[in-house]
């Protein structure tokens, strides 16, 4: 998604500037062309040498901006060059300038000389962030369709205060960059309320043993990231997922569950308030017939485990679907993936299904990439070749729309 994309990064004067080094390095490794502008304040925290080494290109400063012009002005060249501009960390000072259309350095002049989408990652002390004037400036920028944001997060700040103002982590910023490059900044899902399930449910036999599956939840996370970037209101209902993956999520509503029963109960309650449900979770088919509140000894397990079915979430949701609601499912298959998916689409009265080959190399469970075939109730079909799960998520949202 990043190969040969042209990404401008403006670094503001805040301690969070060190995090941007990982962003720059990751973008370069994934094939992007990166140009970086350092404000005067940013140079108090990180050097042009560090940035030029990571980006493999000269780092630009205000000193370059004020040099005699021998060709075209630098801010014009940079503004026309970029496919996307990222400002991280966004300081209160730069925020104020952007909200009032002011330009007194290379970064702010480049903003005004550009037309591409802009991703903002604010970072500052909590008291600064919560100042009325700062919040007014922030809300003013939110009305401009060019500006998109990630963060700030709550947590431990450099001032030893716990509160809102922490810059988003690189794991959150990178998917936002990828999504904005894919959508070119469009918010085509604004006004949509989307419910997404993710991860593999666990059916416990006792407190330490369970029947489960190898789903990591990466596909559901990617769909949530894509839908949020495109303006949707997102609720993610997830079975156990690693904290590392959850930390990459934008600020969507998260509902943690463990078993199919818990997921079933929440989705039935929440479905009427949402227009789309994308069921990417790998829900178990059976559960132990009995549960022991004490750990069972190995000897007491025996050689046979009595099982019973878990609730059929999609079938129950389909029976409650109202006009205007869409129900999207996944069919993880080996071998022939199309016929079982079509049968599931019809049997469970789905609008769209993703036939997902989990026996392919570097696709399916716990992989960063995926492939599949989209099928819908109107007979449409679209094959998606191997790509990142985030790109597949965006193509799925395109197909549903």
Q: Which active-site residues does the annotation give?
A: 159
Strands 369-376 and 352-357: antiparallel
Give strand ranges (E) for 239-342: 253-256, 276-279, 286-288, 307-309, 326-333
First to last CA, the chain: 21
**Rg for the chain, CA atoms, rounded:** 24
- How many Cα neighbours within 13 Å face the side chain of 85? 25
Rounded Cα distance between 336 and 358, Å, is 11
DSSP label at 159? Answer: T
CB count within 10 Å of CB 333 equals: 19
Strands 203-206 and 209-211: antiparallel
Rounded Cα distance between 5 and 28, Å, is 10
| Cβ(356)–Cβ(333) below 8 Å | yes
| Cβ(4)–Cβ(180) below 8 Å | no
Give me the residues paired with residue 234 across strands: 194
Rounded Cα distance between 268 and 314, Å, is 10
Q: Which of 400, 367, 366, 364 is nearest to 382 (CA)?
A: 400
φ, ψ of residue 225 to 5 degrees: the values are: -60, -45
Rounded Cα distance between 87 and 89, Å, is 6
């Amino acid at each position: 998604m990043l190969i040969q994309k042209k990404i401008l990064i403006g670094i503001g004067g805040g301690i969070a500037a060190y995090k941007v080094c990982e962003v720059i390095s990751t973008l370069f490794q994934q094939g992007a062309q990166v140009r970086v502008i350092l404000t005067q304040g940013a140079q108090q925290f990180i050097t042009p040498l560090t940035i030029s080494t990571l980006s493999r290109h000269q780092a630009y400063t205000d000193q370059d901006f004020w040099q005699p012009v021998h060709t075209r002005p630098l801010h014009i060249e940079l503004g026309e060059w970029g496919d996307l501009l990222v400002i991280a960390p966004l300081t209160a000072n730069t925020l104020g300038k952007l909200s009032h259309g002011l330009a007194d350095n290379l970064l702010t002049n480049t903003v005004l000389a550009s037309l591409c989408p802009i991703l903002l990652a604010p970072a500052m002390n909590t008291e600064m962030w919560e100042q009325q004037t700062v919040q007014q400036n922030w809300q003013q920028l939110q009305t401009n369709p060019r500006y998109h944001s990630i963060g700030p997060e709550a947590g431990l700040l450099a001032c030893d205060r716990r509160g809102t103002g922490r810059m988003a982590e690189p794991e959150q910023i990178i998917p936002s960059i990828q999504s904005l490059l894919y959508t070119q900044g469009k918010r085509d899902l604004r006004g949509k309320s989307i419910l997404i399930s993710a991860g593999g449910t666990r059916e416990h036999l006792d407190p330490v043993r369970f029947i489960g599956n190898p789903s990591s939840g990466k596909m559901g996370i990617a769909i949530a990231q894509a839908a949020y970037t495109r303006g949707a209101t997102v609720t993610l209902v997830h079975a156990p997922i690693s904290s590392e993956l959850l930390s990459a999520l934008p600020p969507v509503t998260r509902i943690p569950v463990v078993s199919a029963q818990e997921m079933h109960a929440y989705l039935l309650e929440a479905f009427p308030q949402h227009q789309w449900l994308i069921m990417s979770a790998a829900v178990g088919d059976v559960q132990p017939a009995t549960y022991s509140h004490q750990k069972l000894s190995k000897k007491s397990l025996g050689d046979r485990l009595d099982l019973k079915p878990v609730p059929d979430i999609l079938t129950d949701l389909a029976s409650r679907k109202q006009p205007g609601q869409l129900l999207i499912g996944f069919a993880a298959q080996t071998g022939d993936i199309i016929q079982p998916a079509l049968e599931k689409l019809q049997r469970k009265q789905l609008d769209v299904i993703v036939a997902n080959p989990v026996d392919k190399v570097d696709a399916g469970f716990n992989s960063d990439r995926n492939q599949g075939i989209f099928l819908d109730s109107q007979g449409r079909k679209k094959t998606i070749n191997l790509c990142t799960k985030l790109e597949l998520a965006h193509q799925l949202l395109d197909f549903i729309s």
